[in-house]
Every structure is written in C-alpha cells, then in structure tokens.
Chains A and B, each alone.
Chain A
Amino acid sequence: MQEEHGPAPTIWPLGFAVGIAVALVGLIVDPQWVASAGAIIAIVFGYLWARDATSEMRRQAPVVQAEVREMTPAEAAAIPPAAEGEAAMARPEPGERFPRSRFLEASTLGLGGLIGGVITVPVAGFALLPSFLDQKSYRVDMGPVSAFPLGKWFIATFMVDPKEGETSRRTAFVRNNGFVAQGSKQVPSFTVISNRCAHLGCPVQANGPTGAILGEKNEIEHTKNGEILLRPVLPAGFGCPCHGGQYDTEGNRTAGPPVRALDRYQFDIVNGHLVLLSTYSVSHVVGTGAQAKIYKYKLAGPGEHVDGPEQWFYPLNPPHHY
C-alpha cells in the first residue's frame, strides 16, 4: 500500500484551467467581456485552490508541553560551587553565539554587501539605462519645399545622423499637401510616413510604380544632412515584405498583422526647407492629406498597441493633440 503524499483531489484546478481557457479565447472573440469573465473565474478558482492547498500549512501548530524534570538531591549536590575566574563562567551551550562573533558576521556580510552594491549599482545602471531613454532628437534637412511638388509622393532616403553612418539611414514617404489654414495663417502641410512597419519593424515598401515606369527621374538634394535621395512614386498603399502587413496611403492598416497605423515624422519648415524631426506613433488616421485627423501617441515600439484594451499591456501612452 502506497502512502498518500499529495493533497486530496479538488475541483479548483479544473475551474482555474477553465477560467484561463475562457480568458484566452475571450482575448480573441471579445477582450472586454468574455476575457474579463474568464479572468475573474481564474482568479476566484485560483484563490480557492491556493487556500485549499495551503490549508495544512496555515493550521494552528499543536501545543507541546515543555518537559520538566525534578532534580534529585544527589544531582544537586554534584553541582560544583561557583568559583572565581573561568570556572565561574557558564559553559557555552553547543552552538551558542557570542556577541563578538555575531558582530563579526554582521560586519562581514554588511561590508561585503556594501562593496558589492557600490560596484553593482553603477554597472547595472550603465547596462540598463538605455532601456529608459527616449529617442534621440534629430533635425533632418530634406531640401527646399519646392523640391516637393503639390500632391506627389516621394520615397525619401536619408541619414538622420551622418556621423553614425549607414545604421542611421531611414526611409520616409513624403507628400506635399499644400497649405492648410491654421488660425489666420496658411501653413504648409506635409504627410511624412515612416517606413518602419508597425508589426515588427521591417522596412515597408510603396505599392506602386517608381522611376522609369513612372517616367520621372530620381532627385538628390544636397543638404546639411548629406545626400537626400528622393524617388518619385505613385503608391496605391504601402506593404511590408516580411509578414504581409498592408497600409493605405495615410498609413492606416488595411490587412495583415500590424497593430496600428504607420508612424509619422514631425516636421518643420525652416527658411523654406522641409526639416524632419522626431517620429511619433499613430493609432489611426481619419480623412486624408491636409484634412487628415491623426490620432497621435508618443513613439511606441513596433507591435505595441497604443489604443484599445491591448494598450494596458504596454507602458501608458495617452493620446495627445490631433
């Protein structure tokens, strides 16, 4: 007969598993209601399971009577009288600790920990700091606004930091939307879409003819940021070669695995030149061109949801002005 080691079978793990399954299915069919219902089931059953499994541990410890023994007169007589000096000292109990050894242990551990901390903290900070840095700010001079005729798309290739070389090469899809009224002024409007796929960061391509097929020549602008290559293109949309994500010409996802629209570049017009600044993320765009209403977010990594319930899995990224 084998001894029983484990606890008696219970129904709690089963309910817990059902809850997890419902939550996972719910994430696909209805993240708001079914998934949260599954999560609640899992939490309730998980709690009951944990309570059941630990019931033995939390049971009150049995009270054990201390053992008492009377001393016989012979034993009492055998106790040596207190003498002076060493003999008067109590014999150390087996395993007894003395203040000095306790102090030495504490100081060894304390000093060791301190030295370890003094070395580890700056090193770990040095290694982990990049995880918490924001994107570097760039100013990329793209050449005069006149290089971008109204309504035409260009595939612009440039280095955000020529000193850093090829690793800083970026591609953006640029279109001049003309002027848009802002208060009493007329300000230029550009659509500048980053080619970094919102799925996993592959380079998105323009779906449409370029160069000779289009019957137009590539242009090269020489600016402070070195050579800016402008290739005219007539895109029906944008597509990613890696996993098939598709976007319309405003960068809205139309098919495939991307979780949001394509990122965009902030821009500025300085001395008649188009200057690209940092990138930001976009959940979706309503309308087109100069009239587009862009739902902006702080730059998020590819594959990170910026809206919907899924955004709760990522650092809080509230939308800012449209």
Chain B
Amino acid sequence: MAIRRAPSKAQVRREQMLAAVNYPLDWLEERSGLVGGVRYFLFRKVPSDTNWMQTLGSATLTAFIVQALTGVILAMYYKPSPHDAYASIQNITDHVTMGWLVRGMHKWGASVFIILLFLHMGRVFLFGAYKYPRELNWIVGVLLLVLGLTEGFTGYLLPWDQTAYWASVVGINLNGTAPFLGPWLAQFLRGGQEISGDTLSRFYSLHMLIIPGGIIALITLHLYLVIRLGVTSPPWSKEAAGREVVEEPAPVRTGLTRPAPHGGGRD
C-alpha cells in the first residue's frame, strides 16, 4: 500500500495559483465559449511542412494593426480642414512628444503594408493556394488589396502640402478618365466639380472610417475562411492535400540495445 504523503507547501501554493488563474477563465468559458474558441484557433492542425513564406499573411495583418493604432493616435492631433491640416501635421512632427515617431511609423508602415500585401499575394499564387476550395479567399484578398491601395491614395492627400495636393489632383482626374462612370467617380472623390476643403474632409473620412471598416470586416472573413479551410501545404509537400494523416507506428530501430519485435533486423 502506497503511503499518502501530505502535499508539500510548494505543491499547495501551485494548486492555489492554478485555481486562481483558472477561475476567471472558467467563468468566461462557461458564459461565452471564448476560451475554447481561442484554443481551437491557436492549436488547430496545420500541415507539418509549412514554410516561413506562410507567415507573410500574419506579417501583413501585423502591418495593418500598426497602421490602425498609429492612425488612431495621429487622429487625436490631426485637423482635417484646409486652414489647419498642414500646420497640425507640422505640430505632430515637431512638437508632440514622439509625434515624429508615430507619424513616421504610419508613413513608412503604409509602404510596408502594401509591399507585404503583394508578397503575401505572390506566395499564395506560387503555392497554388488560391485553388479549390480557397477561391473565395483569393477574391476577398483581392478586395483587401484594392482597399489597401485606396487607403494609400486617400492618405496621401492628408498632409495637405503641394505634393499631396497635386498628386491627388492628378489621381482624382485619373479616376475621372475611366469610361462611363469615371466622371461621377471623380466628382464623388472631389465632393463637387472642384477640389476644395470638402475634398480633404471627404478623404479623411474615407481614409480613417469607411475603408478601414471595410478592411477589418474583410480581414475577419479572410481569417474565418483560413481557419475553416485550413492552411495549404507547400507545392513540394509529399502529403496529399486534404488527406487525413494516418498515424503509423514509428519504425523500430534494430540494433544492439533493443531486439526487433518482429524478428527482423540485422542478426
């Protein structure tokens, strides 16, 4: 008969700690199922031969989150009116504590976001990850690319300097040359026949409310489809796609230390 020893002080403390951590998690899980959902998301199965290239999507998401956070902070200091816009940008850069850093992150991060979008798209294309059943996710991704480029276009005007102004004039008029709907599209962007203060506030609204909202909604759908359909194996994968991997017993090493169980091996 085994002797039951009283638990040591350290063991008791560990158990108390575990209970204290688990209690709120259990509370949450019982009422929402969120813990199980997060666990499902984090510990879902992926092909064993996934590649570093397949982290480009997460990198793009991270770049977007950086843009969203720095953008929210910039919006606290930026004033979207033709009289104040340029001065407020100068204020952010020169006077607000670390303003230069946040603006710099937003400015350079914008290029990083677009570059990562294209690299991610290239990876998906080269891996053939757009094929059945993931066509819809490719389409959602293309919409995200378009929205990302639109973010770049609308954000470019906001510093309201000469480069921003004339680049946007050319960009808007470029939209206007599109056949049939172009003239109306250009007027929608301009907020009238001519560029004015309305154009700036319009671009500001598009840049920080409408398009980011669309991007967040589409990213949610994008991730839902990734989780639902699973991660693609690389094209060089030896495992057939969509095949459940049957667990085979590990090959038993025969040798001096352990005899082969089925009588084989080098006798």
Mutual binders A and B: yes
- A-side interface residues toward B, CB under 8 Å? 127-128, 130-136, 164-168, 200-203, 242, 299-304, 313-315
A131 to B188 alpha-carbon distance, docked (Å): 5
The answer, yes or no, to whether B183 is at the interface (CB within 8 Å) is: yes
| Alpha-carbon distance A203/B185, docked complex (angstroms) | 22
In the bound complex, residues from chain A placing their C-beta under 8 Å from that of B192 are 130, 133, 135-136
CB distance from B163 to the nearest CB of A (A): 12
CA gap between A299 and B194 in the complex, in Å: 11
Chain B positions within 8 Å of A164 at CB level? 82, 196-197
Q: Does B191 contact A (CB under 8 A)?
A: yes
CB within 8 Å of A: which residues of B?
A: 82-83, 166, 169-170, 172-174, 176-177, 179-180, 182-188, 190-198
Q: Establish whether residues B166 and A242, one from each chain, have CB atoms under 8 Å apart when the complex forms.
A: yes
Interface of B is mostly: helix
Q: How far is the CA of A128 from the CA of B176 in the complex (A)?
A: 15
- Cα separation A135 to B83 with both chains bound (whole Å): 22
- Given A200-B173, A202-B166, A314-B182: A168 and B187 within 8 A (CB)? no
Take A128-B188, A301-B186, A314-B179 as given contacts and tell me if A133 and B193 are in contact as well, using a CB distance cutoff of 8 Å. yes
By a CB distance below 8 angstroms, the chain A residues around B174 are: 200, 303
Cα distance A202–B174 when bound, in Å?
Answer: 11
21 contacts between A and B (CB under 8 A): A130-B188, A130-B198, A131-B184, A132-B184, A133-B187, A135-B193, A136-B193, A167-B82, A202-B170, A242-B170, A301-B182, A301-B183, A301-B187, A302-B173, A302-B176, A303-B174, A304-B177, A313-B179, A314-B179, A314-B183, A315-B183
Q: Is the CB of B193 within 8 A of A299?
A: yes
Q: In the complex, what's the smallest C-beta–C-beta distance from A299 to chain B, in angstroms? A: 7
Q: Is the CB of B190 within 8 A of A130?
A: yes
Closest to A314 in B: B183
Q: Are B187 and A201 in contact (CB under 8 A)?
A: no
Q: Given A299-B193, A301-B183, do A166 and B82 touch, yes or no (CB 8 Å)? A: yes
Residues of B within 8 A of A135 (CB): 192-194
Partner of A301, one of B82, B173, B179, B180: B173
Provide the residues of chain A in CB contact with B180, threshold 8 Å: 313-314
One of A133, A136, A166, A200 near B169 (C-beta < 8 A): A200
Q: Choose one: B170, B183, B197; the contact of A304 (CB below 8 Å).
A: B183
A168 to B193, CA, bound (A): 12
